[in-house]
Amino acid sequence: MTLPATQADAAVKPPRIGLLDTARGLALIAMASYHFSWDMEFMGYLASGTAETGWLKIYARAIATTFIFIVGISLVLSSMPEVRWPAFWKRFGMIAAGAVVISIATRIAMPNEWIYFGILHCIAVLTLIGIVFLRLPLAVTLIATVVLIAAWLTDNFGTPGLLRSSFFDPRYLAWIGLAVMPERSNDYVPLFPWATPFFAGLSFASIAIRTRLLHRLAAIGTGSWWPARLGRHSLAFYLIHQPVLIAIAYGLSLVVPPQAPDPVATYLRQCNTSCVMQQGEALCHSFCQCTLEKLQAQALFTPLQAGAIDIENDERVQTIAAECSAEAE
């Protein structure tokens, strides 16, 4: 008995796609370049909040979207024609172990902003979810993808706060992605909305297998390029690159010390970074400029920057915040 073409294609191991390795390698390089901007900010060469605002914020999200989309594709390809469980659990164990190491290291080094659910944590959980969906009909995966895209559109362009609740703010729930004000972290990649590109990758790869698109992509010969070789060792690169980059930034600071940051620019950037998590950027710009002017007028700005004022409990600061919130709205 002969199988139909689409079933026959799904019953054999997919070809190695050099283009996918290349895309993964380029995403790793882009990620390292973004992380180096964070390191330069940490060492004082860039104003505080630079890496979390403006085009760098968009750049970071584009990198993470690309990388997680590729993870979804790779899970499908590595599970065809059937899941190789020893290899699957080995790979999952390496990712999970890497996530634990990062959490422990950052908890020691940066206790107030430690990484409790970063990109490796997200990939580990999505891998377990994805392997379940690969056992289900493709239609189920497609429906889940459409639902996630609709939820993302609602969250970003629909009714503000419709999908979110402060109930999810604590770290033990913030990983789900429905928090209003999640606790601070230097790498926060919750399941929502980041399951969206992952499921898009699952759907794309599953459709590609059924339409012979994989063979056409495999024919694009980029597998020997150095980004492709790098892309085949993504986990090792991820774990190693940041210690190397921060060591470079630290060494540079010893040779060419950074200039003291402008306190006004630093305040405005930090204020906007905090504000945009709850409000629109236009409103935050007005609010932050208003609070700056009122703090300066009442001679509170300098002691606030020096840490002499408790911003959470000082009634003067709270009054200014309330007044500026009313004016901005």
Residue 288 has pLDDT above 70, yes or no: yes
Q: Are 43 and 252 in contact (CB under 8 A)?
A: yes
Average pLDDT of the chain is 86
Separation of alpha carbons 22 and 20, rounded Å: 5
- DSSP reduced 3-state for 265: helix
Residue 21 has pLDDT above 80, yes or no: yes
Separation of alpha carbons 216 and 220, rounded Å: 7
pTM above 0.95, yes or no: no
pLDDT digits (tens, 9 = 90+) for 213-224: 877 877 776 667
pLDDT digits (tens, 9 = 90+) for 223-243: 678 888 898 889 899 989 999
**Range scoring the smallest mean pLDDT among 33-37, 102-106, 254-258, 312-316:** 312-316
Residue 10 has pLDDT above 80, yes or no: no
Handedness of CA 187, 321, 180, 157 (dihedral sign): negative
Q: What is the DSSP-derived secondary structure letter of residue 46?
A: S
pLDDT digits (tens, 9 = 90+) for 55-98: 998 999 999 999 999 999 999 999 988 899 999 999 999 999 99
pLDDT digits (tens, 9 = 90+) for 90-141: 999 999 999 999 999 999 988 888 999 999 999 999 999 999 999 999 999 9
What is the token pair recorded at 54? Answer: 């403006």
pLDDT at position 12 is 62
Residue 20 has pLDDT above 70, yes or no: yes
Average pLDDT over residues 307-323: 82
Residue 39 has pLDDT above 60, yes or no: yes
- DSSP reduced 3-state for 136: coil
Task: Provide, rounded to the nearest whole percent, the portion of the chain with pLDDT above 70.
Answer: 92
